[in-house]
Chain A
């Protein structure tokens, strides 16, 4: 390709770098201009392969533009505009820089035509989004951010090893559908890397931990990009992988159970991200393109990801607004706020109705594609369990969230009540755009359906039977909600999840980090340096190049970079965490070597 091809991520990155140089008076204009330019770039891209460069015998493709990457690119570009508008009044440039770098990582991963490019942007996403947690500035934000980063680095290692094994087996780095009928170790590891970012249990606990703790607008970005990029990667890499069907169904229900117990509104929404992404993961499992239901599921996953980004963004904006205005996000500290924040209430409610798949709202036209594909596939239990999860979705996100924040018992402290009011214009505008799109998608199906990758699929959500089914489930769930209101009143407690293992293991983990792992790490390092393993590593030229270029350069670079950052951030106060970080990278290196041995 000779012509100049501008990558949309580049627009975000350049925009982010230049942001601090833009004078304060013009900053808001710049903040709006950059994502709009990037979005315009996305919608004007022609299909094809662009930005192909050659590095050390590898062909890297930065711009694979086709219908699948375009539908995801479109919605992410759009969400970047909405998210930036929502946080327009945030003064600290670094927060916008982190958000845009994160978006750039996500969009870069979407258009990546090979695994190395995918991996690079994948890691960029993890690192940049960590800052969105740290910027909250609380003591626990620091710890949460580190946990988030560690978990994602571990996922990155799995992905990386999977990529290496796949390359060894196939001598190709092209990021296309892998052989899911006979999955190799490489395919499994790549899938695990994707599943971690999609927050599939048991690799999910990072999500509520992080999204409940990020800044009020950081969570708006995070809920849109990480999991949906993972859904895209799964759909591109392993469509029709059967194991994903039960995993997705478990996910859909798991999120519902925790949402019942949750007291923090944003953590509740985070658990419902897990539940909703469960539909998509199950859909990827169903997406065997040789079958009609598989093609429906393929489209359904895209449609649901599209709709989900908007309504979940809207919900996080609604709860983020409450947090931003009052400083509270727990149900036991809120209530009765409709009097003070009526607009926020209505907009949040629209998000709740959309996620619950009410007719005329976006979830109705997207979720039902996956559920229908489940029934059509003959795996009837998939359809029924996803219907069950739908009832749970309405119960919590459609009813519990609006009710216990804006109605219910008024638990507000006097100062909370005093501070509560509808927010600045840009936050209302961002929520209004998202709310409008939620209704528009649900009411005018050609807008979304025309963008879906498989145009050979015909699906009509609005038939009398389907509308009746949905209304019955939802309205009788509502009846149950009001009958059991007392039982559903949130308690001022936290719910333990699998992050318990790496959080409460505290002392044990520290000991582990200090003593044996470090000893083994040093030992392995010595052998490695002495040359014992090097000849083995060189059996494949790729591994050697990869090792020096990627592992040393990027991973170690991140490690030392973050050690330094961490040190600056909070002095030498919590050195233990940094040791954990080091230990985790040591562990990653060990894992890498172990797999090479096994192979």
Chain B
């Protein structure tokens, strides 16, 4: 089947595929830097989300951690790349930590016959 052949074709050139992917990531970063640089000067156009300055009555947290983070997200290039990567690492480590928590004599990740069914 041609689909399988195509996948095998890519797998045979795994090193090249990885290089292309890394190239795409780099391109994405460059594009985002360009986006933020171009949009500076007219802030509101940068990304989705509220214009914090214009609607203070709707906004609970104009100050504080979340507002600060939001400001960074709006103004720093590659914020969401860093966010995505940290999110991924955080999710994996927190979940694994949780999975190894003790519950009685076992842990959250229990043996398969735990319920004796």
Contact = CB atoms under 8 A, between A and B. Distances in A.
B48 A338 contact: no
Interface string B34-71: 01000100000111111000010011110000110110
Contacts of A488: 92
A469 B47 CA distance: 8
A384 B66 contact: yes
A484 B50 contact: no
Q: How large is the interface on A (under 10, 10 to 19, 20 to 34, 35 or more residues)?
A: 35 or more
Nearest to B68: A380
A476 B117 CA distance: 41
Contact of A493 (B32, B90, B98, B110): B110
A291 B61 CA distance: 17
B48 A378 contact: no
B18 to A, nearest CB: 8
A171 interface: no
Given A342-B4, A465-B35, A465-B45, A496 B50 contact: no
A395 B37 CA distance: 30
B20 interface: no
A469 B48 contact: yes
A378 B50 contact: yes
A558 B67 CA distance: 53
A465 B69 CA distance: 17
A481 B21 CA distance: 13
Contacts of A139: 117
A376 B46 contact: no
Contacts of A140: 117
B92 A477 contact: no
Given A468-B35, A493-B109, A500-B103, A473 B87 contact: yes
B55 to A, nearest CB: 8
Contacts of B84: 391, 472-477, 480
A388 B92 CA distance: 12
B85 interface: yes
B69 A380 contact: yes
A387 B84 CA distance: 9
A487 interface: yes
Contacts of A470: 80
Interface string A365-390: 00010001001111111011001100
A378 B91 contact: no
Interface in B75-117: 78, 80-85, 87-92, 94-96, 98-99, 103, 106, 108-112, 114-115, 117
Looking at A258, A380, A387, A503, the one whose CB has the most chain B CB atoms below 10 A away is: A380
Contacts of A474: 84
A549 interface: no
Contacts of A481: 88
A391 B46 contact: no
A158 to B, nearest CB: 26
A465 to B, nearest CB: 4
Given A381-B66, A384-B66, A466-B48, A472 B32 contact: yes
Nearest to B46: A465
Contacts of A383: 49, 70
Main secondary structure of the interface of B (DSSP, over half): helix
A497 to B, nearest CB: 8
Nearest to B64: A380
A323 interface: no
A261 interface: yes
A339 to B, nearest CB: 6
Given A342-B3, A465-B45, A479 B85 contact: yes
B88 A477 contact: yes
Contact of B58 (A378, A384, A476, A480): A378
A257 B91 contact: yes
A328 to B, nearest CB: 14
A392 B96 contact: no
A424 B17 CA distance: 33
A477 B87 contact: yes
Contacts of B88: 391, 395, 476-477, 479-481, 484
A303 B94 CA distance: 31
B56 to A, nearest CB: 9
A510 to B, nearest CB: 14
Contacts of A587: none
B16 interface: no
A481 B55 CA distance: 39
A257 B95 contact: yes
Interface string A258-294: 1011000000000000000000000000000001010
B25 A372 contact: no
A343 B2 CA distance: 11
8 contacts: A261-B95, A261-B96, A380-B69, A395-B88, A468-B31, A468-B32, A475-B24, A476-B81
Given A380-B70, A472-B32, A487-B92, 5 more contacts: A338-B4, A384-B66, A387-B87, A472-B84, A495-B109
Of all A-B residue pairs in the complex, the 7 with the closest CB atoms, nearest first, are A480-B88, A260-B95, A378-B59, A476-B84, A391-B87, A473-B84, A380-B66
